[in-house]
Amino acid sequence: MSEYVKALFQAYYRQAPVDALVPKDIAKREFGFVIPGKKGMIRHQAFLEPKDYKGFLVQNTPVHAYHSATLYNSPWKDRMDLKDYTGCDLIFDIDCDHINTPCKKDHDTWTCKECSKQGTGKVPEKCPKCGGNKFDDRTWLCDSCLDKAKMETRKLIDNFLTRDFGLPLDAMAIYFSGQRGYHVHLERDDFRKMSTDARREMADYITSTGLSLASIGFLGKATTNIMGFTIKDPGWAGQISRGLFDLIEMLSAGKASTSIKERELELLKANKDRLKKRLLEHDTNWSFAGIGPGIWNHIIEGIVEDVRCDIDVPVTIDIHRLIRAPATLHGKTGLVNCKLTRDQLDPFDPFTDAVVFKGNAEKIKMLADVPRFRIEDKTYGPYKKDDIDTVAIGAAVFLMCKNMCEVLK
Ligand SMILES: [Zn+2]
Ligand SMILES: [Zn+2]
């Protein structure tokens, strides 16, 4: 971390209100920090008093600050079995890394560590050339990627946590991570007591893992009427019906974005009025000329793909994970982790609302090729290595956090 960024981070922590920085039940949490000039992550830190924690942040200006979702009686002990587990917040993580967006082909690249094969877009699970699974990736933040992450977060909160699980909004704390996504924390005692298996079951439901159409009542036999669902049905039956209803509406408006094949969409379009009526009037008969059980299965698969929510499952089921601390700065962007209400989520603009350092033009020189990016209402780049430009301080910090520019004196 450059001295320039370090001084800014320190000034931020000095003026940050303690209440915003401190997580609930601070004394029971383990903290971890990446600190400039120190190797790796400093683990097993604990703070009994909020002011000591703030003092630590001011003094050490961490590049990254994390705390455990887990609560322990002895969070400072350096062995997990000695910490004395008492519970763990239920966390949902939605991260651009896990979401496929078409723009990734334009701004993300990866290189296989085994055979040096390079590619663009989302990092593959296995190298297509040598089968290796270790990559150097260069990812970028863009508006469409973060919009998609926000859309998934809305889906998680509105369609799953609120509607299907019946959880009140005031049980959820929503955060912009400071970089590539959003987190939803549930910190009530009943969530904290959930077992790993219970967490996995919830994650499986939300991601549609192991969903069986027969088990939720879909009857698709060529010899009888095809029995589907209606929009008032609970659980995945209702999710699929509402997804189908929305799809028909979008088809009528001529702007459907879905993985379902054109030929199958045409069949839905041809039957759209009768189908909508049945979905609304709780008539489960899905028999229509030309749409046999096989085609329905394809269509439903496509709808499930659109409706399911792309959470990062290991974050939800792992009860010993460190998560980014509230209102701390992200060392790869200089953006601040923001706590949001559900109402604040919709208009939230990470590239404006999470920018801490504003004003002050800085003359900078690029240390690498820089893709186009936006800070507040100004778009910068793309730049070539060695280009020089005068930019707002937020843009300079953003690039400096990525080691992509230096400030010229
Ligand atoms: Zn390879
Ligand atoms: Zn993108």
Which of 110-124, 169-183, 317-331 has the lowest average pLDDT?
110-124
Query: What is the distance in A from the centroid of ligand 2 to the CA of 270?
Result: 35
Query: What is the distance in A from the centroid of ligand 1 to the CA of 149?
Result: 29
**pLDDT, position 225:** 84
pLDDT > 90? residue 382 = yes
Q: What is the ipTM of this complex?
A: 0.91
**pLDDT, position 20:** 97
Which of the ligands is closest to the CA of residue 180?
Answer: 2
Query: What is the distance in A from the centroid of ligand 2 to the CA of 105?
Result: 8
> Which two structure tokens, joined as six digits, stand for 326?
């509230």
Neighbours of 61 (CB within 10 A): 24
> What does the pLDDT average to over 143-168?
96
Whether residue 210 contacts residue 204, with contact meaning beta carbons closer than 8 Å, is answered with yes
Query: What is the distance in A from the centroid of ligand 2 to the CA of 53?
Result: 35
Query: What is the distance in A from the centroid of ligand 1 to the CA of 375?
Result: 36
Query: What is the distance in A from the centroid of ligand 1 to the CA of 111?
Result: 8
DSSP class per residue in 60-97: H--SEEEEESEEESSTT-SSGGGS-EEEE-EEEEEEGG
Which of the ligands is closest to the CA of residue 130?
Answer: 1
Query: What is the distance in A from the centroid of ligand 1 to the CA of 278?
Result: 51
**pLDDT, position 217:** 85
Query: What is the distance in A from the centroid of ligand 1 to the CA of 51?
Result: 49
Which of the ligands is closest to the CA of residue 106?
Answer: 2
Query: What is the distance in A from the centroid of ligand 1 to the CA of 133?
Result: 8
> What does the pLDDT average to over 313-329?
96
Which of 14-23, 45-54, 85-94, 225-234 has the lowest average pLDDT?
225-234
What is the Cβ-side half-sphere exposure of residue 157, based on CA atoms within 13 angstroms? 26
> What does the pLDDT average to over 370-381?
93
The pLDDT-based confidence of 359 (bands split at 50, 70, 90) is confident
Query: What is the distance in A from the centroid of ligand 1 to the CA of 129?
Result: 5
pLDDT > 90? residue 254 = no
Q: Between residues 260 and 173, which one has the greater pLDDT?
A: 173
Query: What is the distance in A from the centroid of ligand 2 to the CA of 109?
Result: 12
Query: What is the distance in A from the centroid of ligand 2 to the CA of 104?
Result: 5
The pLDDT-based confidence of 349 (bands split at 50, 70, 90) is very high
Of all helices (H) and strands (E), which one includes residue 152? helix 143-155
Residue of 44, 46, 8 lying closest to 27 (CA atoms)? 46
Cα 35 to Cα 8, 66, 174, distances in angstroms = 15, 12, 26
Which of the ligands is closest to the CA of residue 105?
Answer: 2
Query: What is the distance in A from the centroid of ligand 2 to the CA of 144?
Result: 5
Which of the ligands is closest to the CA of residue 128?
Answer: 1
Query: What is the distance in A from the centroid of ligand 1 to the CA of 119?
Result: 10
Which of the ligands is closest to the CA of residue 372?
Answer: 2
> Which two structure tokens, joined as six digits, stand for 190?
């009943």
Q: Between residues 255 and 347, which one has the greater pLDDT?
A: 347
**pLDDT, position 57:** 98
For the chain, the average pLDDT equals 93
Q: How far apart are CA 274 and CA 318, in angstroms?
A: 46
Whether residue 202 contacts residue 184, with contact meaning beta carbons closer than 8 Å, is answered with no
